Amino acid sequence: MKRGLLYSIAMLAALLMTFATAQAKTQFVTIGTGGITGVYYPTGGAIAKMVNKKKKEYGIRATVESTGGSVFNVNAVMNGDLEFGIVQSDRQYQAWHGLAEWKDKGPQKDLRSVFSIHPESVTLVAAVDSGIRTIKDLKGKKVNIGNPGSGQRQNAIDALTAVGIDYKKDLQAENVKASEAPGLLQDGRIDAFFYTVGHPSGAIKEATSGARKVRFVSITGPEIDKMLAKFPYYAKSVIPVEMYPGAQNDKDVPTFGVKATLVTSAKVPDEVVYAITKEVFDNFDDFKKLHPAYSTLTRESMLEGLTAPIHPGAMKYYKEAGLMK
Ligand code: GLU
């Protein structure tokens, strides 16, 4: 009897030890995303889902955090608050070269690329009753250009500057998060907002399905073409209006855009970056099904639009898979 009890205690202790070691080995990694009604947030979830399926094999547990967007994510990855971040390709370029928000801090030398993901369009949404039909009509209007920390803020400023609008003087610029803009537009508190986002997105659905009628405004013209020629990271793109039946547009809307990319730090261990890369690429067809914004993705396209050097953990996988030499 006594022996039986001792045996049970010993077994329990052994079990607890095993559990504790397994726990100690788990590496927790966090992916910084954007607002929950954007595409970064579900994208972070999709990436986490792929790697968490193999938690036993890798000992990695990935979680997702909603953040202020690209600029916030670069900075949080650089100071070690986050292991991964989803970042616009233009913001990655600027951080790596020490431009825009990184002008004073200088080049972010520890920034590393993992892969790129869906295309994002600079999306200008305006209330029909505001009379805004072209980007130049934003003069004198109340416009959300985005929170500091977001990717879209600089895109909005670039587009406005290109057409001769000084956002500090010629319009009433609001600085709120993209997740709040659709509500403000519907409540009549702003006339328009910019959001650089993949399509379809929850925020744009929300903005286009309320009582106040809204339309997408194209961002085109000779001045915009000049700007696109000046910045290597911008390219023409189109917003597919069939994704938003409530929008008062009958044709797809031409604008410009960038790509969403996954970044990390040189300080994040190779095996962690390798595991995430491998699980997304090995299960590419499953991954692609996780969001309609991934419809045009190919494995090869996921290696385009990267400026910072590819993290060695990701590179190990690309070489094994024959995607890179
Ligand atoms: N492109 C936005 C940003 O960098 C985020 C878009 C999204 O969350 O889907 O802030």
In a domain, 277, yes or no: yes
From CA 37, how far away is CA 178, in angstroms rounded? 8
Residue 72 CA, closest ligand 1 atom number: 10
Q: How far is the CA of 178 from the centre of ligand 1 (A)?
A: 8
Q: How far is the CA of 177 from the centre of ligand 1 (A)?
A: 10
My answer on whether omega of the bond before 245 falls inside 30° of 0, hence cis, is: no
Residue range 157-182: average pLDDT?
A: 98
Q: Whose CA is nearest to atom 6 of ligand 1?
A: 197
Q: Whose CA is nearest to atom 3 of ligand 1?
A: 151
In a domain, 325, yes or no: no
Residue 12: its pLDDT value, please?
67
160 and 232 assigned to the same domain? yes
Report yes or no: 224 and 234 within 8 Å, Cβ to Cβ. Answer: no
Residue 13: its pLDDT value, please?
66
Q: How far is the CA of 9 from the centre of ligand 1 (A)?
A: 53
Any idea which residue has 């400023």 for tokens? Answer: 157
Q: How far is the CA of 128 from the centre of ligand 1 (A)?
A: 25
19 and 96 assigned to the same domain? yes
Question: What are the residue ranges of helices labelled H in 53-131?
Answer: 55-58, 70-78, 89-97
In a domain, 97, yes or no: yes
**Range with the poorest average pLDDT among 18-27, 89-98, 164-173:** 18-27
In a domain, 228, yes or no: yes
Neighbours of 231 (CB within 10 A): 16
Q: Is the pLDDT of residue 11 over 80?
A: no
59 and 143 assigned to the same domain? no
Residue range 285-313: average pLDDT?
A: 97
In a domain, 139, yes or no: yes
From CA 288, how far away is CA 9, in angstroms rounded? 49
**What per-residue string of b and e applies to 249-280 under the rule 16 or more CB within 10 Å gives b?**
beeebbbbbbbbbbbbbeebbeebbbbbbbbb
206 and 240 assigned to the same domain? yes
170 and 231 assigned to the same domain? yes
Total number of domains constituting the chain? 2
Mind listing the pLDDT tens digit for each residue in 65-78? 999 999 999 999 99
pTM: 0.93
In a domain, 98, yes or no: yes
Residue range 160-179: average pLDDT?
A: 98
CATH of the domain at 183: 3.40.190.10
Residue range 83-94: average pLDDT?
A: 98
218 and 264 assigned to the same domain? no
152 and 244 assigned to the same domain? yes
In a domain, 199, yes or no: yes
Residue 201 CA, closest ligand 1 atom number: 9
Paired tokens of 30: 């966090």
Q: How far is the CA of 87 from the centre of ligand 1 (A)?
A: 7
97 and 18 assigned to the same domain? yes
176 and 298 assigned to the same domain? no
Q: Domain of 57?
A: 2-119+260-320
Q: What phi-psi label fits residue 115: left (phi over 0), alpha (psi between -120 and 50 degrees) or beta?
A: beta
Which residues contact ligand 1 via a Cβ below 6 A?
34-35, 38-40, 69-70, 88, 120, 150-152, 196-198
**Alpha-carbon torsion, ordered 177, 183, 187, 192, to 10 deg:** 50
Provide the 8-state DSSP code for 167: T
Residue 25: its pLDDT value, please?
80
From CA 7, how far away is CA 2, in angstroms rounded? 9
10 and 43 assigned to the same domain? yes
Q: How far is the CA of 197 from the centre of ligand 1 (A)?
A: 5
In a domain, 245, yes or no: yes
Q: Is the pLDDT of residue 227 over 80?
A: yes
Residue 149 CA, closest ligand 1 atom number: 10
Q: Is the pLDDT of residue 20 over 80?
A: no
Q: Is the pLDDT of residue 14 over 80?
A: no
Residue range 231-235: average pLDDT?
A: 97
HSE (side-chain half, CA atoms, 13 Å) at 189: 11
57 and 102 assigned to the same domain? yes
DSSP 64-76: EE--S-HHHHHHH
Q: Is the pLDDT of residue 243 over 80?
A: yes
Paired tokens of 314: 């990701």
Paired tokens of 323: 């995607």
98 and 181 assigned to the same domain? no
